Amino acid sequence: MPDVTPYPDPILRLMDSLTCLPGIGRKTAERLALHILHTPEVYAQTLCRDIIRMKKTVCICDTCFALSDSVTCRICSDPSRNQDTICVVENPADMAAIEKSGAYRGVYHVLGGVLSPIDGIGPEDIRMKELFCRSDPRTVREIIVATNTSVEGESTASYIMDHLRSRHIPMSRIATGVPMGGDLQFVDPLTLLTAMERRHAFQ
């Protein structure tokens, strides 16, 4: 039996592209495609332009490895932020979650992942070496390790602590208050605020 579809080819092609996005199944792609079809053309043009502009201009900060639209991100170049306090996070979404909480006024270091031997991810696969290079006791007053409370996040935190212990920089681990095994990006700002305020020294 031939594959009968009620939609013309351009709609099917857009649906195919949309299903490549995380969390978008065939049904949602169909709804989105039809929605875009019925919006004014200027909306579709703006959407396309914004996607292309984002792809062309967003890069990685050369200091903290956060997403940025310049060589050095806004936080790293902000003199009102505490440049001597580094908060280590797994990814840009976790960094954004902490920023939304308003609990933190230092700078960040985005690892770009966590250590996971079972997946073959070692220190050389994330920005661990760059963190150690930045962690100069003459310029850094505190390091807060805010990797997630998953097994990998905890072991990554331990690895960082072990390697920086000899530098005698005060280190702390983000406090409990965030759910064990959970992702920071899904935690509400108040819980994150509490977690930052009640952080404790690394054991």
- Residue numbers of the site for Zn ion (CB under 5 A)? 61, 63-64, 66, 73, 76
Q: Which residues pair with 142 in a beta bridge?
A: 85
With 0-12 / 13-18 / 19 or more C-beta atoms within 10 angstroms meaning exposed / middle / buried, residue 32 is middle
- Quick one: 78 or 188, whose CB is closer to Zn ion? 78
- Quick one: 83 or 158, whose CB is closer to Zn ion? 83
8 A C-beta contact, residue 108 and residue 75: yes
- Quick one: 63 or 147, whose CB is closer to Zn ion? 63
- Quick one: 66 or 196, whose CB is closer to Zn ion? 66
Residue type, 42: V
- Quick one: 92 or 153, whose CB is closer to Zn ion? 92
Taking the complex as a whole, the smallest distance from the CB of residue 194 to Zn ion amounts, in Å, to: 26
Taking the complex as a whole, the smallest distance from the CB of residue 57 to Zn ion amounts, in Å, to: 16
Taking the complex as a whole, the smallest distance from the CB of residue 109 to Zn ion amounts, in Å, to: 9
What does R_g of the chain's alpha carbons equal in angstroms? 21
- Quick one: 18 or 76, whose CB is closer to Zn ion? 76
Taking the complex as a whole, the smallest distance from the CB of residue 72 to Zn ion amounts, in Å, to: 6
Rounded-to-integer distance, Cα 189 and Cα 92, Å: 16
Cα dist. 107→16, 162, 191 in Å?
40, 22, 20
Taking the complex as a whole, the smallest distance from the CB of residue 165 to Zn ion amounts, in Å, to: 25
8 A C-beta contact, residue 104 and residue 98: yes
8 A C-beta contact, residue 183 and residue 148: yes
8 A C-beta contact, residue 77 and residue 69: no
Taking the complex as a whole, the smallest distance from the CB of residue 83 to Zn ion amounts, in Å, to: 10
